[in-house]
C-alpha cells in the first residue's frame, strides 16, 4: 500500500489536506494523525471493516478495546446511553484534553471497537490538527496509538512512518505531540469512578474536581484479566533492547554490566545525566519537572537500537502525580528491575 504523507501547521490548516484525509477516513481507510498525547491511528468507528484495518496494521490483539475520538460533547452524547453528572464535571474540567471517559454504549460503534464490552471509552482531543480533522470528517473515529503493537507509542510523525509506512493510507504530520503519554482513562459507569489507566490528567487533579476516585486493581493484575481499557493487559512500549529499571546506584549497575561485556545505554534525567558523562546516555527530561519526562519518554525509548546497545537501564520515579503515568508505561516496557 502507498501511504500518503501530509505536513500540517498547527497555526493554519491546509483545507485540501484536511479534505483529502477526511475523505480517506470516510472511505474506510486508516489514517494517522496527531493528538496532544501521542499520534493516533484512526478509522471510522462505525465501520467494522475500517476498524479491522487498525488491528491488522498494528498487529493488535482483538480483545484490546479502542478509544473513540469525537469533535465535541454533542457527538459524544450520540454514542452513549447516559452522561452522569460526574462525567459532565470531568468533561467540563479537562475536555478537550487528555482524558478518556468510559460510559455505557448505545451500540452505534462497530463491535470490534469495544471488544465485546457494553461500554466505550470516548475523548475529545485538544491538538488543533487532530481536532480539526475530526470536525472535517464528522464521524466518530476509533484511534489507538499509531505504532506496531508493543512498541513505544509515537510522539513524532517520523515514529509513525518507521512503524506503519506502507501499512496504512495516510500519515498527517502535525509536529511533535505535547504531553507525550496517552490519555488518562476513567470509568464512569459505576457509582465511584475508577481510573483504569493513568495518563495526561493526574489522579490528584481528578480528585480535586469530583472527589473520591478509585484506581482499578486490574492495573496490577496479569494477562488473564480481560482489559477494560487500552494499556491494561499486554506488554507495551518496549524498546528494541531489554530494558531494566534502576532505583538507585545507576553508575554501579552500568559498570557491572559493562564489565560483563554488555553494551549499555542509559535513559536518565538531566540531573542524573550530569553524573554519567562517560556513559551512553539519552536524556529524557528534568526530574524537577516530570512533565518534561512524560513528553520525551517514548522518544527516549525509541532512541537506542539493537545495533547500538545490548541492554538499556532507565531511571525510576515516584508514583505520584504524572510520575504514576510514567512508571505505568515504564513497568510495562521493562524486562524487570535491578
Q: Point out the annotated binding site for L-threonine.
A: 37, 69, 123, 143, 183
- In the numeric block, the cell 507525550 is attached to 180
- Which amino acids are annotated as binding site for ATP, given as ranges? 60, 64, 145, 153, 197, 237
- In the numeric block, the cell 452513549 is attached to 80
Q: How far is CA 117 from the centre of its chain?
A: 21
Residue 329, CA distances (Å) to 44, 155, 311, 334 in order? 27, 14, 18, 9
Is 250 in a helix, a strand, or coil?
A: helix
Distance CA 266, CA 85 (A): 46
Q: How far is CA 309 from the centre of its chain?
A: 25
Distance CA 117, CA 63 (A): 10
Q: Which residues of 59-71 are buried (b: 16+ CB within 10 A; e: fewer)?
A: ebeeebbbbbbbb
211 Cβ neighbours under 8 A, 6+ residues apart: none
Number of helices (H), then strands (E), in the chain: 12, 16
- Which amino acids are annotated as binding site, given as ranges? 37, 60, 64, 69, 123, 143, 145, 153, 183, 197, 237
Is the torsion defined by CA of 94, 12, 156, 51 positive or negative? positive
277 Cβ neighbours under 8 A, 6+ residues apart: none
E strands, 124-242, are: 141-142, 170-173, 184-187, 194-197, 214-215
Residue 284, CA distances (Å) to 18, 124, 302 in order? 33, 28, 11
245 forms beta bridges with: 314, 337
Q: Which residues of 75-85 are buried (b: 16+ CB within 10 A; e: fewer)?
A: bbeebbeebbe
Element (H, E) at 207: helix 203-210
Amino acid at each position: 500500500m502507498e501511504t500518503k504523507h501530509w505536513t500540517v501547521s498547527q497555526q493554519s490548516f491546509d483545507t485540501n489536506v484536511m479534505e483529502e484525509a477526511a475523505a480517506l477516513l470516510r472511505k474506510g481507510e486508516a489514517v494517522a494523525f496527531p493528538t496532544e498525547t501521542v499520534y493516533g491511528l484512526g478509522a471510522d468507528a462505525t465501520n467494522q471493516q475500517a476498524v479491522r484495518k487498525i488491528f491488522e496494521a498494528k498487529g493488535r490483539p482483538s480483545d484490546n478495546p479502542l478509544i473513540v475520538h469525537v469533535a465535541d460533547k454533542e457527538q459524544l452524547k450520540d454514542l452513549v446511553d447516559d452522561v452522569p453528572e460526574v462525567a459532565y464535571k470531568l468533561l467540563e474540567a479537562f475536555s478537550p484534553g487528555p482524558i478518556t471517559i468510559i460510559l455505557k454504549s448505545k451500540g452505534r460503534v462497530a463491535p470490534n471497537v469495544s471488544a465485546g464490552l457494553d461500554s466505550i471509552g470516548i475523548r475529545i482531543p485538544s491538538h488543533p490538527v487532530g481536532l480539526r480533522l475530526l470536525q472535517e470528517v464528522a464521524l466518530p473515529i476509533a484511534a489507538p496509538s499509531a505504532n506496531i503493537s508493543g512498541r513505544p507509542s509515537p510522539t513524532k510523525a517520523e515514529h509513525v512512518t518507521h512503524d506503519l509506512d506502507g501499512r496504512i493510507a495516510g500519515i498527517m504530520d502535525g509536529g511533535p505531540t505535547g504531553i507525550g503519554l496517552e490519555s488518562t482513562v476513567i470509568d464512569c459507569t459505576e457509582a465511584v469512578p475508577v481510573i483504569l489507566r493513568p495518563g495526561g490528567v493526574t489522579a490528584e487533579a481528578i480528585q480535586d474536581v469530583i472527589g473520591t476516585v478509585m484506581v482499578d486493581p486490574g492495573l496490577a493484575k496479569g494477562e488473564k484479566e480481560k482489559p477494560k481499557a487500552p494499556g491494561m493487559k499486554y506488554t507495551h512500549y518496549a524498546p528494541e533492547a531489554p530494558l531494566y529499571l534502576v532505583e538507585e546506584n545507576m553508575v554501579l549497575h552500568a559498570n557491572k554490566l559493562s564489565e560483563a561485556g554488555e553494551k549499555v545505554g542509559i535513559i536518565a534525567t538531566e540531573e542524573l545525566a550530569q553524573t554519567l558523562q562517560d556513559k551512553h546516555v539519552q536524556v529524557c527530561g528534568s526530574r524537577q519537572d516530570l512533565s518534561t519526562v512524560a513528553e520525551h519518554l517514548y522518544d527516549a525509548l525509541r532512541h537506542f537500537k539493537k545495533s547500538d546497545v545490548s541492554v538499556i537501564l532507565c531511571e525510576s520515579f515516584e508514583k505520584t502525580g504524572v510520575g504514576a503515568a510514567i512508571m505505568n508505561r515504564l513497568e510495562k516496557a521493562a524486562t524487570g528491575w535491578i
